[in-house]
Chain A
Amino acid sequence: MRPVFRLAILLAPFLLTSCKSKPVVRYWTAMDCNFDATLHGPGGPMPAEKALDLVVAESHRLDHLFSDYDATSPLSVLRGRKGDTVVVGSEIALVLRKALVAMHVSGNAFDPGMHDLKQLWGIGTERGHVPSRDSIEALLVRRFGFLPKSSDTLPEPFAVLPNNRVVLLTDSLPIDLGGIAKGYSVDRLSAVLDSVGWPRHLIQGGGEIIAAGRKESGSWHIGIKNPRRTDTIVGVIRSDSTGAVSTSGDYERFFIEAGVRYHHIFDPPTGHPARGGTVSVTVLCPTSLDCDAFTKPLFIMGPARSRHLADSLGLQAFWIRETPDGLCARVTSGWGDRLQTALPGCPADW
């Protein structure tokens, strides 16, 4: 046997190993949450680490853009007097429009004017507590102009006009885009990676995920946490192409008082955390902005209305409910073989 042939055989395993491109990962914090990005090859010509530097820088720009606590943030111009017209940037205008769409189609299960109520409850902080009924009602009246009932059509906090002009419809109301801006941001970060030659990637920001392209080793697999044992999973989503996944659950930020769990997903007309029986909902969408905008309404709304909303928007949703017998699941009909779960189905009346 020729020495060259023998050498080639001996080197084969090492050559095979070195040809396999390992994903490059970055973890960081922005927008009050943790982010990570995983780049799968082949990509470039920009080196992966340089591409990730651009992604992190973009996340910090978006953090400032959508900050609701930074007095210098572009969003702060929305804290004017009722009737004022202000001009915002095109990105803020896009997200504000999406917020209004989510508010309308969900029948007020989404509201970008809940900032003060969330602060009052303090959920996710060390001062989390059940506020007095009077203090909740005072903030509801400030937000809506009256004490709403569940059947009321609620007024918008602002209107978006052409040329990115925004008319304020409530006095000095802090606008909270925390329930939707992360989704927009994850889409933006994905676009940055596409533009520099890394189209196969996964980005996660505060629970919003976009899995883009198709990685060399096959499909993307996204796990769904068990809402009552969050270090275990109760389902797996498989995706073969670009798609966004978002989960909202009552286990993410909460406190327990007198045996009752008070979580961070508010039912706007009541000023209280939603009590529809859902403990977690996971949604598969075309974009992360869609996912972020509609996951919380799908959590808040009752089972019949939320299934109708998911079907009408063409979204795939996976609800988990807690019953005296344990957890059960309800899914939309379009998942096919993209969702696997070991949870039993919920009773037909839910």
Chain B
Amino acid sequence: MTRPRLAAPADFLILVAVLAAGAWSWFSAPGSDGSKAAVYVDGKRLAWWNLAGPLARDTVEGALGPVVVEHGLGAARIVWAPCPHHLCMRAGSIRRVHAELACVPSRLVVVVEGAQEGENGLDAIP
């Protein structure tokens, strides 16, 4: 009587391929869908857009009223906010992951989110 084999040589090839796919999935899981511009008001994520998309403008409701965000072609900026000093409108565009724009009176933050977190990426940019 012979003991049944656990696996044939071909099964080990499958095992190697599947583990390689698993490793790829492991390292690419967070944010592998590219950078996004996301808008948070009072900590809640109200809108997000793929930064690689065409240039577009959208309106988000902040604490003081509508805020207009321009996004696309790899960048995002605030083009209108009902804040008294319009600091966020003058802050320019953001492109890098973790870059943020804030309209404090509107309690609104625009942030670039993406796949650069990790050993080769940045955790923050003060």
Contact = CB atoms under 8 A, between A and B. Distances in A.
A149 interface: no
Given A219-B119, A231-B95, A27 B126 contact: no
B1 interface: no
Contacts of B8: 1
Contact of B125 (A1, A5, A223): A223
B19 A12 contact: yes
Q: Which residue, B8, B15, B86, has most C-beta atoms of chain A within 10 A?
A: B15
A283 to B, nearest CB: 10
A222 interface: yes
B52 interface: no
B109 interface: yes
Contacts of B108: 29
Contact of A17 (B5, B22, B87): B22
Contacts of A22: 29-30
B26 A16 contact: yes
Contacts of B18: 9-10, 12-13
A36 B125 CA distance: 11
Interface stretch (A161-169, A203-211, A270-278): A203-211
Contacts of A25: 113
Interface residues of B, number: 49
Q: Which residue, A29, A207, A236, has most C-beta atoms of chain B within 10 A?
A: A29
Interface string A12-28: 11111100101101111
A50 interface: no
Contacts of B6: 1-2, 5
A6 interface: yes
Contacts of B33: none
A246 B93 CA distance: 22
A32 interface: yes
B123 A29 contact: no
Q: Which residue, B85, B117, B125, has most C-beta atoms of chain A within 10 A?
A: B125
A65 B119 CA distance: 37
Interface string A96-124: 00000000000000000000000000001
B100 to A, nearest CB: 5
Given A26-B43, A28-B109, A223 B119 contact: no
B57 interface: no
Interface string A180-223: 00000000000000000000001010011101000001111111
A27 B123 contact: no
B107 A29 contact: yes
B29 A17 contact: yes
A219 B22 CA distance: 23
Interface of A: 1-2, 5-6, 9-10, 12-17, 20, 22-23, 25-29, 32-34, 36, 38, 52, 56, 124-126, 202, 204, 207-209, 211, 217-225, 230-233, 236, 245-247, 253, 282
Interface of B: 5-8, 11, 14-15, 18-19, 21-23, 25-26, 29-30, 40, 42-43, 75, 84-87, 92-96, 98-100, 102-104, 107-109, 111, 113, 117-119, 121-126
16 contacts: A1-B5, A12-B22, A17-B25, A28-B107, A36-B111, A38-B123, A202-B124, A204-B124, A204-B126, A207-B126, A217-B119, A223-B122, A223-B125, A225-B126, A231-B96, A282-B126
The 9 A-B residue pairs with the shortest CB-CB distance in the complex, in nearest-first order: A13-B22, A34-B102, A223-B125, A27-B40, A28-B43, A27-B109, A223-B122, A16-B22, A125-B85
